[in-house]
């Protein structure tokens, strides 16, 4: 059973198990898909490709996060798989980050439940024993960038519209300390300081330069590149790679784990402020009006 902080996520978020489909793929591997998380297994290679499918922009709603958490738990417990490629099924968008509608006009209990799910997905991805390769095939702001940052390797498709970064300050909010820690671990303190304060969204060339991604490739090569990177990482004995990954990441994850409840309370009181609600509503309104 999938648990989120000791509770059944299926019940909390109203996601029905019946929403999932479990079939067998051509190679005999169990294929499981929910509404919004598609899993393409390659049992022979030990790789599962997760395709995020929450149109139009893969915003991370509570239900979407819950499905993703369940999916990751299943894969983590299935010895068939040693690696995950994380990518998007929504053309041009990897993920628009946290769903702003989950953080606007709701009550404190909802904010707390939502934030616990955001923490949970980060911990699951960041501490995964599997090799995670992000095949970033679209724009990747804020929470979308964070998901990519949890991966062991990032490949970004070469399209100037596919910008990536932690742009929270542009929304009038603050990247939480564990978003910041993950970014500092990736691009270093000075670059993270500048990127976070300015809310920078890097186009591919700059993202590569600053170390936000490891490789930029033509869009049609993104999956083949991710596969070839994966085979390089899977050539390392699991126990040695996993212990090394844990050695590199444990302190950062423990920082959040030790302060999890306090972090939720901070988030709830911050996001409930009238001034922050106003900023988020203005930002959402601007996004909507962009089209007109």
71 with 39: CB under 8 angstroms? Answer: yes
Q: What's the rounded Cα separation, in Å, for the pair 96 and 164?
A: 10
- Among 49, 54, 59, 225, the residue binding ligand LTMAUQNL under the rule CB under 6 A is 59
Binding to ligand LTMAUQNL by residue 239, rule CB under 6 A? no
CB of 34 to ligand LTMAUQNL, least distance (A): 20
Task: Name residues contacting ligand LTMAUQNL, limited to 183-222 (CB under 6 A).
Answer: none
CB of 163 to ligand LTMAUQNL, least distance (A): 8
CB of 147 to ligand LTMAUQNL, least distance (A): 10
Which window, 24-32, 79-87, 95-103, 124-132, contacts ligand LTMAUQNL (CB under 6 A)? 95-103
Asked if 73 is an active-site residue, the reply is: no
Binding to ligand LTMAUQNL by residue 292, rule CB under 6 A? no
Where does residue 112 rank: exposed (0-12), middle (13-18), buried (19+ CB within 10 A)?
Answer: middle
Q: What's the rounded Cα separation, in Å, for the pair 149 and 263?
A: 20
- Among 41, 46, 83, 143, the residue binding ligand LTMAUQNL under the rule CB under 6 A is 143
3-class secondary structure, 156 = strand
CB of 68 to ligand LTMAUQNL, least distance (A): 14
Q: What's the rounded Cα separation, in Å, for the pair 84 and 253?
A: 20
Binding to ligand LTMAUQNL by residue 256, rule CB under 6 A? no
Binding to ligand LTMAUQNL by residue 181, rule CB under 6 A? no
Binding to ligand LTMAUQNL by residue 120, rule CB under 6 A? no
Q: What's the rounded Cα separation, in Å, for the pair 169 and 280?
A: 11
- Out of 167, 196, 227, 280, pick the active-site residue: 167
**Binding residues for ligand LTMAUQNL, how many (CB under 6 A)?**
29
61 with 114: CB under 8 angstroms? Answer: no
β-bridge partners, 41 = 48
* Residue 30 main-chain phi, psi, to 5 deg: -75, 125
Residue 236: how many other CB atoms lie within 10 Å: 12
Q: 251-275: buried (b, 16+ CB within 10 Å) or exposed (e) per residue?
A: ebbeebeeebeebbeebbeebeeee
CB of 170 to ligand LTMAUQNL, least distance (A): 7
Q: What is the β-pairing status of strands 7-8 and 21-24? A: unpaired
Binding to ligand LTMAUQNL by residue 101, rule CB under 6 A? yes
Asked if 25 is an active-site residue, the reply is: no
Q: Which residues of this chain interact with ligand LTMAUQNL, rule CB under 6 A? A: 56-57, 59, 93, 96-101, 139, 141-143, 167-168, 171, 173-174, 176, 266-267, 270-271, 284, 287-288, 290-291
Q: Catalytic residue positions?
A: 98, 143, 167-168
């Amino acid at each position: 059973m999938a648990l989120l902080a000791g509770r059944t996520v299926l019940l909390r978020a109203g996601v029905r198990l019946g929403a999932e489909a479990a079939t067998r793929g051509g190679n005999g591997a169990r294929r499981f898909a929910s509404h919004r998380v598609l899993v393409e297994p390659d049992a022979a290679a030990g790789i599962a490709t997760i395709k995020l499918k929450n149109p139009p922009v893969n915003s991370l709603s509570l239900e979407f996060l819950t499905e993703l958490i369940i999916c990751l738990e299943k894969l983590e417990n299935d010895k068939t798989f040693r690696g995950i490629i994380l990518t998007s099924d929504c053309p041009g968008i990897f993920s628009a980050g946290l769903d702003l509608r989950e953080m606007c006009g709701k009550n404190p209990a909802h904010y707390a439940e939502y934030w616990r799910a955001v923490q949970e997905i980060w911990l699951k991805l960041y501490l995964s024993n599997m090799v995670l390769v992000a095949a970033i095939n679209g724009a990747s702001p804020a929470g979308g960038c964070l998901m990519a940052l949890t991966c062991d390797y990032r490949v970004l498709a070469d399209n100037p519209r596919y910008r990536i970064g932690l742009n929270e300050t542009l929304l009038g909010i603050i990247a939480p300390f564990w978003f910041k820690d993950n970014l500092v671990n990736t691009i270093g303190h000075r670059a993270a300081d500048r990127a976070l304060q300015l809310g920078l969204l890097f186009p591919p060339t700059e993202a590569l330069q600053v170390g936000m991604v490891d490789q930029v490739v033509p869009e049609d090569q993104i999956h083949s590149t991710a596969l070839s990177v994966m085979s390089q990482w899977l050539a390392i004995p699991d126990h040695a790679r996993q212990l090394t990954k844990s050695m590199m990441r444990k302190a950062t994850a423990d920082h959040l784990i030790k302060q999890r409840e306090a972090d939720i309370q901070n988030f709830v009181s911050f996001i409930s402020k009238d001034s922050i609600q106003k900023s988020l509503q203005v930002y959402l309104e601007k996004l909507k009006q962009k089209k007109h």
